[in-house]
Chain A
Amino acid sequence: MDNGWYSRLFLVLGFVGLAGYFLYPSYYYFYEATDEQRDSHEQFCEAMPSWMTCSKFSLGLDLQGGIHLVMGVGVEKAVEQRLDRLADSLDEGMKEEGIKFTKVVRPRGLLEIQVGFEPGQDRSQFETYLRTDFWQLEAITREDTGYTLALVAERDEEVRRSAVEQTIKSLRNRADQFGVTEPTIARRGASNILIQLPGVKDPKRALDMIGRTAQLEFKIVEAEASSIFVGIDPAELPEGVVARQNTFSGPGGKSVVDNYFELPLLQKEAVRKLLESKIDNEKMIAFGETSSNQEGFLRTYLLTAKAGITGDYLVDARVNQNPDLPSDYHVSMTFDQKGARIFENLTEANKKRNMAIVLDDVVSSAPQIQDRIAGGSAMITLGSSGDTRKKFQEATDLSLVLKAGALPAPVEIREKRQVGKTLGAESVDSGKMAITVGILMVLIFMTFYYRGSGLIANVALVLNIFFVLAVLAMFEATLTLPGMAGIVLTIGMAVDANVIIFERIVEELRIGKTPRAAIDSGYGKAFSTIMDANITTLIAGVVLMQYGSGPVRGFAVTLIIGIICSVFTAIVVTRLIFDFMSSRRRLESLSI
């Protein structure tokens, strides 16, 4: 045996060792690990010896169950909001600068701001002001009666991009808070977000939480002004609506009467219409649960239209339990510094009045402000009736959503795939079964057809599968069902290289060469054929990975890894064994 043989032997043994090193964590994860270790990556890593890697392959959604979502972000809405804010500051700024104008509006449905001027007015001051203070805007038309402004292209793009990025951040926060292990949340295309939540136990709840807007606002209850409702003729009220009064000690110790209505759910819009016709534009009507928590009934609130403070200033939200009444859960919230100041001023100015906590447009509670609240904390109570467990979950979800922050733009679901856990387990079983049966069939066939040489090819085949799995683990690839099919397919194709070599050897034997010479020229001549054949298949695999999505990619990855490993095992490993055999004794005949 020459020196080359030993170095090749060490190369192969080295690879086998490496493969074992990379495969062990995956083996441990799927066969030995406890549930806690499976749920937490840190715990799993700790369970591994320190010199060991903790990269492993993981199972795709189709194999372990879970949710796959593609969400579209309403980026136009974000641009609209930005333009609205710019229009406000432009309006204010021009007034301060003393620039004359007739109007500043953002027409609905258009992504532009229109500024109106008196005809013939000098524009130079406005032009300068626009260039220095509002460089984000550019004039797209300049008419005698006014300008049309739009966001500069880069800014527009940035607003859209940041809306998507913000949404991704919020969604990631929510998924983390919800305790999903290894969620995938990534941008896909210009305005889409791909979300994968593997192994989620309660998909409906997860979906509700992920997709919720979570707009939190605090608004002052205008109880004093509700006296305007006293004059309403009961005959004017829609059917089933009852006028109610509640007297309490308000600001300055004066007694205040809050006039409100209790109504069946159905009459909501009729009541709103009636009441809104009585009040001015700075107030609004909102609805919340009745004090008796009666199913199917609501009560009205008369609120200031403008929010006193919004959830943007929240830094923390957590579930608390009332020590005297264990079934009473509430969510306590903490504002940041600026929010705390606003909240302090708000509570100071509205002492003894009620403040409505409005979540996604519904009044969740309206407690009375007893005193100025410094330090920036507030609370949402969830009522004291109903199923305790359910309420605890509700409180938990609410605190998580609040903490993770509201979404900056509306989202809609564009693609949703939800796979149950049992189906995933079934797929794993049938995938394993297909691989096992496939391997066995090929092993039997090769042994039956090529005898001794077939056994050598079989060693290569088994090593090939070992290597493929190790490479998957090394790259922390996700194994999907099509990916398993890819492995099965590479088994079939892996023996192809050996078939090419063996058929070549047979040809050489037929023209009368000795076994030794036949092996040499067989391998030599087959080499370029094998390379050409596999490189072209590799091209197909790489293209698949580049352009394919989801299941297609999973398939492509295993196909590519399979091709590379199979070329190595079929050429290097089998040759090593042949060389070993022919060096031990003179080969009289070849079992092929």
Chain B
Amino acid sequence: MMKLFDKEPSFDIVGKIPLFWKASGSVLAVCVLLLTVVGLNFGIDFSGGYEIQVKFPKAVDEAEVKSHLAPLGLEGLRVQRFGAVEDNEYLVLVREQGSITGAQKTAIRADFVALAGSEDGLVNWAMAESGESITVAFATPVTEEQVNAILKKNKLHVKGVTRGDRQDRPEYSIGLVSIADDIETALREGTGVASSEQLVKRVEFVGPQVGAELRNDGIMAIVYALGFILLYIAVRFDLAFAPGAVLALIHDVLITVGVFSALGLEFNLPVIAAILAIVGYSLNDTIVVYDRIRENSLRYRGRTLRDLVNTSLNQTLSRTLLTSATTMLVVLALLIVGGGIIRDFSIALTVGVLVGTYSSVAIASPAYIFLRERAEKKVTANKGKSSAVAA
């Protein structure tokens, strides 16, 4: 037998609880601070915008990519290297909506209202969320030149303007060059990549409406998962167990999200999936310890609560560490050979598995002790009170 521990370990884990609380407490405080001050780097899944993955046939550095894109004056432009240096791949991220920002949109609309004479005069106004087209219609005669003048004034990259055929109502549909086209053209011209060569590997656009939907769905998923899990533990074990498990989960999620904030990593849909996987994994760990506490409390009736929990933690310690190790092996495989697209996802998992292992030992079980002791104190206090009354 080759074992982590030759015999059953007997560490004083419960004795270290104050230390765990202090350590976790301060890390959590830092995470909350980071989240409020720095915030999260939301990917386009949640913020809306464009994400374009490009691969250059020759070496191009980040500063050069940025310099080619600078003349476009893009809102919230970010350029990130993607994958290894020799791949010459970059992610170009543009926030807000396509080529048109919210402020620009308001300004353009105001100009059209002015042209129409009044708010009512602007019969129709619609801008595609992708910023790829605008439709306007007026109650009074408006010429194409007037429309063009407004487009020019607002510095829009116009592909073409067509007038509808209704005489009574001048209607124009304006096709705009999408930001993705602009970026591709600028990069091709800047770096001299021929149009026959592939440059853009992936283009993603998420409009603000869909972005909000995805964000809400993500939050709902986490809230519901926590709710159902709490319910299951309360039914299957004991109500005193449930808060500890959920506290440990919140601890894990907060720290993982905090690491994302600290490192400025992109927070996107796959990361939400990773967080829920962490919830599942950390819970798995916690349940194994809880299960042992429950079993032992039936077996060793005479022992104190703290002794009982400490024994249980020791008995499950090698399992906790071994499972953590095997999961870590595959998560590292994902991180190292899984490729750039799921890199952020893998980082979330890596952090989560580490924190999840720790929290099942250092957060969930101590919370159980805390709750049980408080409940016992209340019982004794009540007893004292009632005996006082009796006297």
Contact = CB atoms under 8 A, between A and B. Distances in A.
Partners in one complex: yes
Interface of A: 62, 70, 72, 74, 108-109, 189, 192, 268-270, 272-273, 276, 281, 284, 286, 305, 358, 361-362, 410, 412-420, 422-423, 426-427, 429-431, 433-434, 437-438, 441-442, 445-446, 449, 451, 481-482, 485-486, 488-489, 491-493, 495-496, 499-500, 503, 506-507, 509-510, 525, 528-529, 532-537, 539-541, 543-544, 546-552, 555-556, 559, 592
A433 B336 CA distance: 10
B233 A423 contact: no
Nearest to B345: A485
Q: Give the most central of A70, A410, A442, A537: most B CB within 10 Å.
A: A537
Main secondary structure of the interface of B (DSSP, over half): helix
B210 A305 contact: no
B330 A489 contact: yes
B167 A276 contact: yes
Given A412-B130, A427-B339, A437-B337, 16 more contacts: A72-B207, A108-B123, A269-B143, A284-B166, A361-B164, A416-B130, A417-B205, A420-B201, A422-B201, A431-B338, A445-B329, A493-B323, A533-B283, A549-B214, A555-B277, A559-B280
Contact of A500 (B207, B213, B319): B319
A546 B221 CA distance: 8
Contact of B281 (A410, A419, A430, A493): A493
A543 B224 contact: yes
A23 to B, nearest CB: 22
Interface stretch (B15-23, B185-193, B284-292): B284-292
Interface in B309-346: 315-316, 318-319, 322-323, 325-334, 336-339, 341-342, 345-346
8 contacts: A413-B207, A423-B202, A431-B339, A485-B334, A489-B334, A533-B291, A543-B224, A548-B272
A564 to B, nearest CB: 13
A552 B219 CA distance: 13
B217 interface: yes
Contacts, number: 269
Contact of B284 (A491, A503, A507, A534): A534
Contacts of B8: 507, 510
A420 B270 contact: no
Interface in B208-230: 209-210, 213-214, 217-218, 220-221, 224-225, 228-229
Contact of B228 (A414, A534, A543): A543
B270 A417 contact: no
Given A269-B144, A482-B345, A492-B330, A536 B229 contact: yes
B7 interface: yes
Nearest to B164: A361
Contact of B203 (A276, A416, A451, A549): A416
Nearest to A503: B319
B205 to A, nearest CB: 4
Given A268-B144, A413-B129, A503-B322, A420 B269 contact: no
B167 A305 contact: yes
Contacts of B369: none
A488 B220 CA distance: 26
Sorting the interface of chain B by its residue count into under 10, 10 to 19, 20 to 34 or 35 or more gives 35 or more
Contact of A423 (B53, B126, B326, B336): B53
Contacts of B128: 412-413
Interface string B137-151: 001010111000000
B236 interface: yes
A539 B7 contact: no
B115 interface: no
Q: Give the most central of A414, A442, A488, A510: most B CB within 10 Å.
A: A414
Given A273-B143, A489-B277, A539-B228, A413 B221 contact: no
A475 to B, nearest CB: 19
Contacts of A507: 8, 315
A528 B338 contact: no
Main secondary structure of the interface of A (DSSP, over half): helix
B217 A281 contact: no
Contact of A499 (B144, B218, B322): B322
A156 B62 CA distance: 53
A415 B228 contact: no
Contacts of A559: 277, 280
B152 interface: no
A430 B345 CA distance: 14
Given A284-B165, A434-B337, A442-B330, A543 B276 contact: yes
A544 to B, nearest CB: 5
Contacts of A534: 284
A87 to B, nearest CB: 16
Given A413-B132, A488-B330, A430 B163 contact: no
Nearest to B203: A418
B316 to A, nearest CB: 8
A509 to B, nearest CB: 8
Contacts of B135: 410
A500 B284 CA distance: 11
Contact of A270 (B143, B167, B329, B346): B143
Contacts of A548: 217-218, 221, 269, 272-273, 276
A561 B338 CA distance: 21
A485 B167 contact: no
A413 B175 CA distance: 13
For the complex of A and B, the 3 pairs showing the least CB-CB separation, nearest first, are: A269-B144, A430-B339, A492-B327
Contacts of B3: 506
A549 B217 contact: yes
A489 B284 CA distance: 13
Nearest to A547: B221
B200 interface: yes
Contacts of A426: 339
Given A269-B143, A547-B217, A496 B206 contact: no
A430 B337 contact: yes
Contact of A510 (B7, B270, B292): B7
Contacts of B277: 486, 489, 540, 555, 559
A567 B232 CA distance: 19
